[in-house]
Amino acid sequence: QGNKLELNNFSQVVVSTKDFPERIKQSYNLKSKSKQTLGQEQSSKVTTLRPNLTNAYVKPRNEMEEKVATIFEMLIGIEKVGIYDNFFELGGDSLLATQLNSRLKEIFQVEISIEEFFDAPTVGEICQKIQDYQSKGETVKTQIILPVDRQAYQIKLTE
């Protein structure tokens, strides 16, 4: 316990310990489902019960917290994420944090830096940051990447 408390005072650097190709596959699956509603995504991705954490479960209090909690659940694959649950204690890692950041930008049109996310890794803290950015009018638009017509650039090898 003493070591855990001491480590909480330092900046967090998280590296994924999971299979990199599997993470790429998860990322692709996440992007391909982006047109579905959050509720549909949650039901298809949640696979594990809530782990035993040091804090008690506190359900989301508003729509924003529900959306952020659902994104946590979908990315990490657990159910019942509370507003005080730490993303990294739930099993999240730096690669999932990047995906989370992308989803938050897409849904709420705000960009939270990865450093800010490491300092505020709970649903409640993230929602507070989102509200702060939105109240200041600091929103961003998601850039849509359009596919390029590749046929114009194809070379026939038989000629």
Range name among 38-42, 62-66, 82-86, 88-92 with the lowest pLDDT average: 38-42
Residue 23 confidence (pLDDT) above 80: no
- pLDDT above 70 as % of the chain: 65
Look at residue 54 in the predicted model and tell me its pLDDT. Answer: 83
Range name among 25-34, 71-80, 86-95 with the lowest pLDDT average: 25-34
| Residue pLDDT, tens place only, 28-74 | 565 555 445 455 544 455 567 777 888 888 999 999 999 999 999 99
Look at residue 35 in the predicted model and tell me its pLDDT. Answer: 43
- State the pLDDT confidence band at 144, using cuts at 50, 70 and 90: low
Residue 21 confidence (pLDDT) above 80: no
Asked if the 2-144 domain carries CATH number 3.40.605.10, the reply is no
Look at residue 20 in the predicted model and tell me its pLDDT. Answer: 63
Residue 13 confidence (pLDDT) above 60: no
Between 2 and 147, whose confidence is greater?
A: 147
Q: State the SS3 of the chain.
A: CHHHHHHCCCCCCCCCCCCHHHHHHHHHHHHHCCCCCHHHHHHHHCCECCCCCCCCCCCCCCHHHHHHHHHHHHHHCECCCCCCCECCCCCCCHHHHHHHHHHHHHHHCCCCCHHHHHHCCEHHHHHHHHHHHHHCCCCCCCCCCCCCCCHHHCCCCCC
| Residue pLDDT, tens place only, 102-140 | 899 989 988 888 888 889 999 999 999 999 998 888 766
